[in-house]
């Protein structure tokens, strides 16, 4: 290779606006200052040893070579049975389910398989940070609408709701894909059956497809149920459903997820999938297939995480943070503008940096989930942590 070419500053970037993510920055800052990291969204507790044993057994049984491109049949069957039992839609094991290298790969592959240059893709901000780069790589145009930030009598952001009028304006004949996320990262907001019906009304006379990011599907609290896109027949017929074993079983580092979609859409998905990853870790698939047979491993998850949420919220109520609703996911958003300290005038990013370096607790600014940061004084904590971790963090936060 010509070294001058390789080092040329004119080398064109496919993602010129993308730099180091806020998650990497805040985690590095937390490590440097020995802060408690409630920023990046992953558990600090171990997964079930039974799952490890099943993967180990698969390795010893020599399940260590390439599996089928779409994933092993046993795992695809388990996914199909789970979706059917929970949401009432039957996806064909052979033609409508693919095992992916995590939810993010599923999202990118779904976008690449259906979005062409000049196609419009509607997203709802604050949005998971992989959406825009994936759309850019496909040559599509991102059309962003923002969740409605509801404010209390003091003008402080207290909750979020779906911007239906803005969505109606954004969806048109150029719309190729609409991306929704429920339960929502970072706000924890959840879609209801009535919301899916309103979405169906908006896309009914269009060619728009839906990508439904549901990786936190098993973390919905207070006795409520997750409303999946799969439960709405009309929408399911034009949707990619994305979920994650990593989130569900506390093994985010394994990067195993799945996508379900109608056969014609899945055929296009697999054309891209076979060339960007081809297939996914074999022994993990066999272990997950056996572990998935016991539904209690995911049916008990809402109670497990609700206990952590309640513990964390109770501790935060002894601070002057204003707690936003946390009906789902493993994130708690708070507003810091009423703390009564000088730092409340800082931007969300600067406040999170100060919180990390001076108080010793890392958080993520919600403004980072927007292309053009919207400063609302809201930051996000992750409570997918051991109780001792949360307790130590609360002790520090209660000094504010």
- One domain, residues 293 and 318: no
Say yes or no: 212 and 357 in one domain. Answer: no
Domain boundary residue among 236, 266, 298? 298
Q: Looking at residues 116-141, what average pLDDT do you find? A: 97
Same domain, 387 and 250: no
pLDDT for the residue 2: 46
pLDDT, tens digit (0-9, with 9 covering 90-100), for 19-69: 888 889 999 999 999 999 999 899 999 999 999 999 999 999 999 999 999
Secondary structure, 3-state, 118-185: CCEEEEEECCCCCHHHHHHHHCCEEEEEECEEEECCCCCEEEEECCHHHHHHHCCCCEEEEEEECCCC
Q: What would the pLDDT profile of 277-322 be if each residue is shown by its tens digit?
A: 999 999 999 999 999 999 999 999 999 999 999 999 999 999 999 9
Confidence of residue 400 (pLDDT cuts 50, 70, 90): very high
Confidence grade of residue 8 (pLDDT, cut at 50, 70, 90): low
| Integer Cα distance of 238 and 265 in angstroms | 8
Which pLDDT does position 1 carry in this prediction? 42
Of 298, 314, 332, the last residue of a domain is 298
Do 81 and 140 share a domain, yes or no? yes
Contact call for residues 115 and 91 (beta carbons, < 8 A):
no
- pLDDT tens for residues 241-267? 999 999 999 999 999 999 999 999 999
Please indicate, yes or no, whether residues 249 and 353 belong to a single structural domain of this protein. Answer: no
Residue ending a domain, among 298, 329, 363, is: 298
Do residue 133 and residue 250 come from a single domain? yes
Report the pLDDT averaged over residues 332-358: 96
Nearest to 38 by CA among 30, 47, 48: 30
Q: Could you report the per-residue pLDDT of 202-213, keeping only the tens digit for each?
A: 999 999 999 999
Answer yes or no: do 41 and 81 share one domain. Answer: no
Residue 337 maps to which CATH number? 3.90.1150.10
233 and 274 share one domain: yes
Provide the terminal-to-terminal Cα distance of the chain, rounded to the nearest Å: 56
Name beta bridge partners: 97: 260
Whether 157 and 278 map to the same domain: the answer is yes
Confidence (pLDDT) at 9:
60
pLDDT at 70 over 90: yes
DSSP at 356? I
Stretch 336-353: mean pLDDT: 95
Rounded mean pLDDT, 365-379: 92
Average pLDDT for 206-229 = 98
Range of the domain at 338: 3-47+302-397
Domain at 291, CATH number = 3.40.640.10
Cβ contacts of residue 111 below 8 Å, gap of 6+? 121, 131, 134, 135, 137, 138, 140, 177, 211
The total number of structural domains in the chain stands at 2
Q: Is residue 189 located within the same domain as residue 334?
A: no
């Amino acid at each position: 290779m010509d070294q001058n070419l390789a080092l040329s500053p004119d080398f064109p970037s496919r993602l010129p606006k993308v730099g180091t993510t806020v998650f990497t920055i805040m985690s590095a800052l937390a490590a440097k200052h020995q802060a408690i990291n409630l920023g990046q969204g992953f558990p600090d507790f171990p997964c079930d040893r039974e799952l490890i044993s099943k993967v180990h057994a698969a390795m010893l049984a020599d399940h260590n070579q390439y599996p089928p491109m779409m994933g092993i049949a046993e795992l695809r069957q388990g996914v199909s049975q789970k979706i059917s039992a929970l949401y009432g839609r039957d996806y064909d094991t052979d033609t409508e389910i693919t095992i992916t290298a995590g939810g993010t790969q599923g999202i990118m592959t779904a976008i690449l398989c259906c979005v062409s240059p000049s196609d419009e893709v509607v997203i709802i901000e604050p949005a998971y940070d992989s959406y825009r780069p994936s759309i850019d790589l496909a040559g599509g145009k991102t059309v962003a609408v923002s969740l409605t930030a509801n404010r209390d009598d003091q003008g402080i952001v207290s909750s979020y709701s779906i911007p239906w009028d803005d969505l109606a304006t954004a969806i048109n004949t150029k719309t190729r894909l609409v991306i929704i996320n429920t339960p929502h990262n970072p706000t924890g907001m959840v879609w209801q059956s009535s919301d899916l019906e309103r979405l169906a009304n908006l896309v009914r006379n269009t060619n728009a497809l839906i990508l439904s990011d549901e990786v936190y599907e098993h973390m919905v609290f207070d006795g409520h149920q997750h409303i999946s896109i799969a439960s709405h027949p009309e929408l399911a017929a034009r949707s990619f459903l994305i979920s994650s074993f990593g989130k569900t079983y506390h093994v985010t580092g394994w990067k195993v997820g799945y996508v379900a979609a109608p056969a014609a859409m899945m055929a296009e998905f697999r054309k891209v999938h076979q060339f960007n990853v081809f297939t996914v870790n074999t022994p993990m698939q066999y272990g997950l297939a056996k572990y998935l047979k016991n539904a209690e491993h995911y049916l008990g998850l809402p109670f497990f995480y609700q206990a952590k949420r309640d513990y964390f919220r109770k501790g935060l109520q002894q601070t002057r943070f204003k707690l936003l609703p946390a009906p789902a996911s493993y994130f708690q958003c708070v507003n810091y503008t009423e703390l009564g300290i000088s730092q409340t005038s800082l931007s969300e990013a600067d406040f999170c940096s100060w919180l990390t370096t001076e108080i010793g607790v890392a958080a993520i600014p919600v403004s980072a989930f927007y292309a053009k940061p919207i400063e609302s004084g809201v930051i996000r904590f992750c409570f997918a942590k051991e109780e001792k971790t949360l307790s130590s963090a609360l002790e520090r936060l209660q000094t504010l």
